[in-house]
């Protein structure tokens, strides 16, 4: 490693690592902040294979961002408060299926789904209750939502400003990764190009108005949950990230004005070393492409920062307490791979939303890793392992092969390649084939899942959280009250203005969405207004 780069690392580390107590093992052996040859790679230095920050967890742990949401907004607010009391340092909101699809709770399509897999949010009144008593200027908030992401951001901003918190103070993340919806998760509403217009608008709005906000969390998590391999998760996620970079540049934004606020969201699956290699390769690839292909000059644009969630698909309904062990192993992979925030799944999530006890155990799992294992004392402690380095290189090679195919679809454009690959069902086919191959391996017994296809004795019963029909009825009544009590003329006028702005391809919809939110227009009304302009997407299956 050049002396200049070594000096850069030393300076960055010394600025961050002011601490009076030395780092040691339990036996008192002093620990250096990083190990490796003097001519090797260092954390905090391009290409960031070993981590985006020079001191990594020595000076700042990852954010323990627990995912929560169920029933009504007041019920989820209580869970949020419990997470904060238990030591959680960030909030991550799970929305129910109607909200994820931009439907109101009283829509006929919502029947039986309200509040079941997350919290129901229909209007500004719900957003007020969701964050009541929580200081959004001091805690960061993530919202896992995509097609209605612009609507949810508008509601969030309107609620925060009502509470006296300026939008410039708000820190957090909007998932807003619509490409992976078409590729894997399938919670789309509008056609791809119209959806990308909304992503563009949120990127421009947050770049100008919300400097602490991550406008997109490019998500590989759902790609992996749908059945992709680790290499496909890596490649498809970064390809989508590059597509959003091109989208923003095409909209007139300078790469260094928005790229530092892009974040990523990866799965932590059960293949321990493969996952660590995936994260290391992701940082290296992103840094190189951003500097060499997109000509970013700000180092923050080169630094891939990511959230990790342990693999929901690895959890089993059989012998569910074993899921605690699976989650701990997966979480440790995320930490050793250098994640910036982490959610640990609860043992009961294969069957229901987590109980308060199960969620607390999941958070305590992170705290054991953070405070008892000493793995946080050294950056990239597996760096230099023959195995890990070889896996990292192989992950990078496989990702580059897939990038080449996507770029060919798009005639040299990753943006056009991603859209073309979606329209041609190429991504969907790749993921489906990988999922099929893995399921066959399970069925043959080539891969063992403890408690499912081997070691099947000793099934335990545990208490589950249950969302009742009464919760759905209560949410529908809350929504009816909003409609009764609002200024109907103001809501109609705000929705009309939203439709006019949506029809202007060069206009930004965010101000109109915020105005409609303040007028108590509902999520379904705002999404329906835009669907009247954009149309609705129907996927054509490949045969």
User: 3-state secondary structure string, 506-538?
Assistant: CCCCHHHHHHHHHCCCCHHHHHHHHHHHHCCCC
Is 465's pLDDT higher than 90? Answer: no
CA dist., res. 352 & res. 329, Å (int): 22
Looking at 19-145, list the stretches that DSSP marks H as alpha helix, in order from N- to C-terminal side: 73-85, 97-100, 124-130
Band of residue 461 on the pLDDT scale cut at 50, 70, 90: confident
Predicted pLDDT at 2: 58
The pair of structure tokens assigned to 449 is 């899942």
* Cα(272)–Cα(385) distance, integer angstroms: 14
Domain that holds residue 420: 62-372+414-444
Question: How many structural domains does the chain have?
Answer: 1
Q: Give residue 115's pLDDT band: very low, low, confident or very high (50, 70, 90).
A: very high
Identify the pLDDT of residue 316: 95
* Rounded Cα distance, 243 and 171, in Å: 24
Phi, psi for 454 (deg, rounded to 5): -165, 160
- pLDDT score recorded for residue 17: 60
Mean pLDDT of 90-99: 93
- Mean pLDDT of the 379-383 span: 97
pTM of the shown model: 0.93
Picking from 289-298, 355-364, 522-531, which range would have the lowest pLDDT averaged per residue?
A: 355-364
d(CA 232, CA 236): 6
Q: How confident is the model at residue 189 (pLDDT cuts 50, 70, 90)?
A: very high
| H or E stretch covering 156 | helix 149-162
Q: Is residue 254 part of a domain?
A: yes
Stretch 237-261: mean pLDDT: 97
Residues near 472 by Cβ (< 8 Å), separated by ≥ 6? 105, 112, 114, 115
CA distances from 213 to 168, 210, 245, 299, 469 (A): 8, 5, 16, 18, 36
Percent of the chain at pLDDT > 70 equals 97
Mind listing the pLDDT tens digit for each residue in 307-357? 999 999 999 999 999 999 999 999 999 999 999 999 999 999 999 888 889
Q: What band does 65 get if pLDDT is binned at 50, 70 and 90?
A: confident
Give kind and range of the element (H or E) at residue 223: helix 221-225
The reply to whether 28 falls in a domain is: no
- pLDDT, residue 324, reads 97
The answer to whether position 349 is within a domain reads: yes
Question: How many CA atoms does the CB half-sphere of 515 hold within 13 Å?
Answer: 15
Q: Is residue 522 part of a domain?
A: no
With bands split at pLDDT 50, 70 and 90, how would you rate the model's confidence at 92? confident
Please provide the average confidence, as pLDDT, over all residues in the chain. 94
Who wins on pLDDT, 371 or 458?
371
**Which positions ≥6 away from 308 have C-beta within 8 Å?**
265, 266, 267, 268, 279, 331, 334, 337, 339, 341, 342, 343
Mean pLDDT across the stretch 17-44?
84
Residue 234: inside a domain, yes or no? yes
Q: How far apart are CA 288 and CA 49, in angstroms?
A: 11
Asked if the structure places residue 67 within a domain, the reply is yes
- Which pLDDT does position 353 carry in this prediction? 83
Contact 310, 331 (CB under 8 A): yes
The CATH code of the domain that includes 80 is: 3.20.20.240
Residue 497 confidence (pLDDT): 98
* Domain membership flag for residue 502: no
Tokens representing residue 59 in the block: 């000076």
Alpha-carbon gap, residue 229 to 399, rounded angstroms: 11
Cα–Cα dist 382/370, whole Å: 17
Task: Looking at 251-355, list the stretches that DSSP marks H as alpha helix, in order from N- to C-terminal side.
Answer: 255-258, 272-288, 299-302, 322-336
The CA distance from 19 to 450, in Å, is 43
Is 129 inside any structural domain? yes
Q: Are 78 and 131 in contact (CB under 8 A)?
A: no
């Amino acid at each position: 490693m050049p002396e200049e780069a070594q000096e850069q690392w030393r300076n960055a580390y010394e600025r961050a690592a002011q601490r009076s107590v030395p780092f040691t093992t339990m036996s008192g052996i002093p620990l250096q902040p990083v190990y490796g040859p003097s001519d090797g790679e260092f954390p905090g230095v391009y290409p960031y294979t070993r981590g985006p920050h020079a001191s990594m967890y020595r000076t700042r742990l990852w954010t323990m961002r627990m995912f929560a949401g169920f029933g009504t907004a007041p019920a989820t607010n209580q869970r949020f408060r419990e997470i904060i009391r238990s030591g959680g340092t960030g909030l991550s909101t799970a929305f129910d299926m109607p909200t994820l699809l931009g439907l109101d709770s009283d829509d006929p399509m919502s029947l039986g789904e309200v509040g079941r897999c997350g919290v129901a949010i229909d209007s500004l009144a719900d957003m007020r209750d969701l964050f009541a008593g929580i200081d959004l200027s001091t805690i960061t908030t993530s919202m896992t939502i995509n097609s209605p992401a612009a609507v949810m951001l508008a509601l969030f901003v309107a609620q925060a400003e009502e509470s006296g918190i300026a939008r410039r103070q708000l820190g957090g993340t909007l998932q807003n990764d619509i490409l992976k919806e078409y590729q894997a998760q399938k919670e789309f509403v509008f056609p791809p190009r119209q959806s990308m217009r909304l992503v563009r608008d949120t990127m421009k709005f947050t770049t100008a108005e919300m400097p602490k906000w991550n406008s997109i969390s490019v998500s590989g998590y759902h790609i992996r949950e749908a059945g992709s391999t680790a290499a496909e998760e890596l490649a498809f996620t970064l390809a989508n990230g590059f597509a959003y970079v091109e989208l923003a540049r095409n909209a007139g934004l300078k790469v260094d004005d928005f790229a530092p606020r892009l974040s990523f969201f990866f799965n932590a699956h059960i293949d321990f070393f493969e996952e660590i290699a995936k994260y290391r390769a992701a940082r290296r690839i992103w840094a190189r492409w951003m500097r060499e292909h997109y000509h970013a000059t700000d180092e923050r644009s080169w630094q891939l920062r990511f959230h990790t969630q342990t693999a929901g698909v690895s959890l089993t309904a059989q012998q569910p307490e074993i899921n605690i062990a699976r989650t701990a192993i997966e979480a440790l992979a995320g930490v050793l791979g250098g994640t910036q925030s982490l959610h640990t799944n609860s043992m009961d999530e294969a069957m229901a939303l987590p109980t308060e006890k199960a969620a607390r155990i999941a958070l305590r799992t992170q705290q054991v890793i953070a405070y008892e294992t000493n793995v946080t004392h050294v950056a990239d402690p597996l760096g230099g392992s023959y195995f890990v380095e070889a896996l990292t290189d192989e992950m990078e090679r496989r990702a580059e092969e897939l990038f080449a195919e996507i770029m060919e679809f798009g005639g040299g454009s990753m943006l056009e390649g991603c859209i073309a690959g979606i329209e041609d069902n190429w991504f969907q086919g790749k993921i489906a084939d990988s999922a099929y191959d893995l399921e066959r391996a399970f069925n043959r017994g080539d891969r063992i899942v403890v408690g499912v296809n081997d070691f099947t004795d000793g099934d335990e019963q545990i208490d589950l959280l249950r969302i009742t029909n009464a919760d759905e009825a209560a949410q529908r009544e809350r929504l009816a009250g909003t409609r009764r009590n609002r200024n109907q003329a103001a809501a109609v006028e705000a929705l009309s203005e939203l439709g006019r702005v949506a029809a202007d391809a060069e206009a930004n919809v965010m101000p109109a969405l915020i105005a409609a939110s303040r007028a108590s227009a509902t999520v379904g009304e705002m999404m329906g207004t835009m669907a009247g302009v954009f149309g609705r997407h129907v996927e054509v299956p490949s045969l």
